[in-house]
Structure 1
């Protein structure tokens, strides 16, 4: 009996600070859901749940792409701008066919992702600088294409089905996010590419000495991040009925916060797809609760406060994460 208990303890005890953080995000998520259910009458209503999932699917998608980038030790600051630009491209092409809008938005995101990967791998520019430059370029391109205004989508070609309709009683954007996360989990946990990504995060030089194709892997990771941001942009245009060239501001912070809240180190080399989804849902529920509090009249926070809260939340998480890394280094004798 004692042997069984010891084995169970080893199995369910977090092995590292990263494992503890990943467990913590789900505990916090459950706690917030319980708090909301007890405090607000309609918090668990089908309307609120489905609206929450429909809207936050966009953030979940960009967080997934960001997670893989951060696992390599990089960063992608362009995801919000790419989503905004892709929403404009999708809206402009939507009158021709729903598939034209979808494929155009995806292609726009993929192109920027490939550019990011090329700059990082071939030109050897730091990811922070490279993606900052493409962020500015993407915002500018979106504004130029849209003539500095929202671009209405076509309601005649079925394009709005992507963002506004349901399948089996569940929002289509949420289905898209679920499929993306399943694929992401398979890549990270069941494919050699996932191990290569983590190895690069531990050290590019070491990964190269091991014979891994570092540049090809990094190019694929940044391309995937751009592609997922483009998909978020398509959903944005379809869901709100217009391409939004000024949207996406602060989305990169939401994505980064979702990743680090899920226990992924900003230094790379570790990460979890499931915990990233948990982090995205956790942040989404925080803002959902704030909206309910606004409705009760207890507090009165404008939409601008979301950026303040998001940035503050990210800062606190990074500080806590840095403390955990220091403790881990001391424990390992480094």
Structure 2
């Protein structure tokens, strides 16, 4: 009689699992503790709300990117789509908040729909399709804005969306938290969420199982475009102008937040809640760097943020790859 050897769960394996599940949350807690002990104004309501309000744009884009990456895809156009939406919102702002909001989100959603149709029905690689949309959306933004910033209207309530508060909390932060709460419900409790994970795990098997693969892919990119459009509305209302040249590198920020949160770039696995933690982690890192600049400890220009984002993304991808191999091993 022969027996099949069973895998023994070692302490190292448990450590790997814990790092994958809670590492980003632990890192966030340690950063907050470090900032609270080192900087006098770090935990003031002004600083906390400023971080939340500003990073709401990146959070919304990262939420859409989470669903895209969970299907095994990528959306490089989100920064340009947000810039395009900010211009549309600024142009529509004299008509009031809702026309500007709905018009900009609808325009961005249309670009996301084009991405989804090209990827799902023309079988174009997501990298190529969204790279083309990155260029197209940037060109549209520059044409609509005549290659300059478009001032938003301040008299019809549009800027209150990005600059107002509700119960002391920035309205944009409330929008961010509501969006992520809905995202968690969609991923965990709906067929759409299960289809997204199944497609990312194995697209061919999903097709053989009769899942609506193409339709799901289209909706994923529609969602990404709509959330990028909402981020563009926040951009225009926070700064009082549509910015056709903004959004450069936002896709890197979104991808970094998603990957930091533990979502695999290969698809099939991910967490909406962890993406939010990843967004906050990146936001607090740059907030700490700003405090250090203020203390004179270091002197980094805004351009260094792109360098840090790129290096951070590379490090996280390498760590994620090693942890995944160790788990499989």
TM range (shorter): over 0.9
Per the alignment, residue 3 of structure 1 pairs with none
Q: Quote the Cα distance in structure 2 between the aligned partners of 1:103 and 1:313.
A: 35
Unaligned runs of 5+ in 1: 1-9
**RMSD between aligned residues:** 1.5
The structural deviation recorded for 1:234 is 0.2
Residues 19 and 263, structure 1, Cα contact 8 Å, conserved in 2: no
Q: How does 1:60-209 map to 2 (within 5 A)?
A: 60-209=59-208
The structural deviation recorded for 1:18 is 6.7
1:210-260 superposed Cα distances (whole Å, 9 cap, x missing partner): 110000111111000000000000000000000000110010000000000
Matched, 1:255 2:254: yes
The structural deviation recorded for 1:14 is 9.2
Q: Quote the Cα distance in structure 1 between the aligned partners of 2:321 and 2:57.
A: 28
Q: Quote the Cα distance in structure 1 between the aligned partners of 2:18 and 2:163.
A: 36
The structural deviation recorded for 1:20 is 3.1
After TM superposition, the runs of 4+ consecutive aligned structure 1 residues lying more than 4 A away are: 13-19
Per the alignment, residue 240 of structure 2 pairs with 241
Residues 63 and 255, structure 1, Cα contact 8 Å, conserved in 2: yes
SS of residue paired to 1:217: helix
TM-score, normalised relative to structure 2: 0.95
Q: Quote the Cα distance in structure 1 between the aligned partners of 2:222 and 2:96.
A: 25
Q: How does 1:226-305 map to 2 (within 5 A)?
A: 226-305=225-304
Matched, 1:322 2:321: yes
The structural deviation recorded for 1:198 is 0.3
The structural deviation recorded for 1:59 is 0.6
Q: Quote the Cα distance in structure 2 between the aligned partners of 1:14 and 1:144.
A: 54
Residues 18 and 264, structure 1, Cα contact 8 Å, conserved in 2: no
1:126-146 superposed Cα distances (whole Å, 9 cap, x missing partner): 000000000010111101100
1:21-72 superposed Cα distances (whole Å, 9 cap, x missing partner): 2311110000000000000010011110111111001111000000000000
SS of residue paired to 2:95: coil
**Aligned in 2, Cα 1:19/1:132: closer, same or farther, shift over 3 Å?**
farther
TM-score, normalised relative to structure 1: 0.93
Per the alignment, residue 214 of structure 2 pairs with 215
Per the alignment, residue 26 of structure 1 pairs with 25
Q: Quote the Cα distance in structure 1 between the aligned partners of 2:105 and 2:17.
A: 33
Unaligned runs of 5+ in 2: 1-8
Residues 86 and 242, structure 2, Cα contact 8 Å, conserved in 1: yes
